[in-house]
Amino acid sequence: MSSEIEKYSRKGLRTSYISTVVGISLVLFLVGLILGGVMGIADFQRQAKESIAGDIFFHENFNEADIKQVEIQLKKWPEFNSIKYMSPEAALATFYENQTEKKELNSIFEGDNPLPPSIAFTPKENFANKDGMQNIKKKLLKSYPTQIIEVSYNEANIESINLGFQQFIFLVLFLALIMIIIAIAMINNTIRLALYSKRFTIKTMQLVGATSSFIRKPFLFQSILQGIIAAIIGMALLVTLFYAIQNYFDELAITYSLKLFLILALSLISLGVIITFVSTWIALNKYLKVKIDDLY
């Protein structure tokens, strides 16, 4: 009879442990979905900013060799993501897409090329804003006052990219904060329910002389283990979801660098461990202080 009771008790503990881990995993999966979205949007924003194009136009009497020397010097500037020399012929080629447009432009300009030699550039993310681009323009004109005619870029495009992403990221961060608060509440409730079933065990250990630190140690260790396992399961669900989206929805391209993947994984593990540890600590303190009569 006693062996059956012990077997049933162990089965109940295993079921409780599994259900706790599964519950925490699902919550961390939802949190990871939001955090992954934030990181993905931030990376997409960086790519969008660093794709903003600008042009540096030179005087016609400034020859190709001299411009290429300037190109080499500009590649060393920290403000630029890319620098590429554009000959007048290459610059003109960007204005038409087919032979009909080419003939029309040739007839308008009577065979002459009105475009001066130039250098096309894209800025680094930190400089892809209104002030950053203005500073780049001022620095270029100051560094090459007799060589450069004009520095051109689309100001309206820069402002719209920065404003649009800023508003969207604030919205997603707000949702992420809400999700983290919900996660803390749900995981805390899951841990408290799991420990509620062990309240008599905790009190029995205390009554036979076990110290509070001795009682806490196995439960806290278990909480850390639960947080790590739950985070791994949550991360596995995220990877599966991202893989499925990439394979079944060709128009949605989700790309994560190894660095972003590691940051996301470490964030989920840290969040899972911290929340389970703190929740377990608080719940244990409650049952260590409660009187025997209040356990029923």
pLDDT bin (cut points 50, 70, 90) of residue 97 is low
Contact (CB, 8 A) for 119 and 83: yes
pLDDT tens digits, 44-53: 777 778 778 8
User: In a 3-state reduction of DSSP, which class is residue 50?
Assistant: coil
pLDDT of res. 46: 76
pLDDT of res. 257: 67
pTM given for the model? 0.60
Lowest mean pLDDT among 18-32, 136-150, 266-280: 18-32
pLDDT of res. 47: 76
pLDDT of res. 215: 78
pLDDT, averaged across the chain: 75
Exposure of 22 in the CB half-sphere (CA atoms within 13 A): 6
pLDDT bin (cut points 50, 70, 90) of residue 5 is very low
Give the Cβ contact number of residue 287 at 10 Å. 21
Percentage of the chain exceeding pLDDT 70:
76
Cα 18 to chain centroid, rounded: 30
- Domain definitions of the chain by residue range: 2-47+161-295, 53-153
Q: Which amino acid is at 241?
A: L
pLDDT tens digits, 28-80: 888 888 777 777 777 777 777 877 888 888 887 777 788 888 888 898 999 89
**Beta-strand (E) ranges in the chain?**
54-58, 80-86, 118-123, 148-153
pLDDT of res. 162: 66
pLDDT of res. 61: 77
pLDDT of res. 179: 74
* Residue 63, phi-psi category: left (phi > 0), alpha (psi -120 to 50), beta (remainder): beta
pLDDT of res. 164: 64
DSSP 83: E
pLDDT of res. 156: 77
Q: Which residue has the tokens 């540096």?
A: 56
Token pair belonging to 268: 């989920």
pLDDT at residue 254 tops 70: no
pLDDT tens digits, 167-176: 676 777 777 7
For residues 181-190, one letter each, b for 16 or more C-beta atoms within 10 angstroms of the residue's C-beta and e for the rest, the string is: eebbebbbeb
Token pair belonging to 66: 């001299």
What is the rounded distance in angstroms from the CA atom of residue 249 to the CA atom of residue 252? 6
Exposure of 141 in the CB half-sphere (CA atoms within 13 A): 10
Annotation: CATH topology of 53-153 = Alpha-Beta Plaits (3.30.70)
What is the rounded distance in angstroms from the CA atom of residue 130 to the CA atom of residue 49? 11
Phi first, then psi: give them for residue 119, nearest 5 degrees: -125, 125
pLDDT of res. 196: 72
Q: Which residue has the tokens 């920290």?
A: 78
pLDDT of res. 112: 59
- Cα dihedral 225, 229, 235, 238 sign: negative
pLDDT of res. 8: 40
pLDDT of res. 4: 44
pLDDT tens digits, 196-218: 777 777 777 777 777 778 878 88
Mean local confidence (pLDDT), 182-191: 75
Comparison of pLDDT for 142 and 287, the residue scoring more: 142
pLDDT tens digits, 11-27: 444 556 677 788 788 88
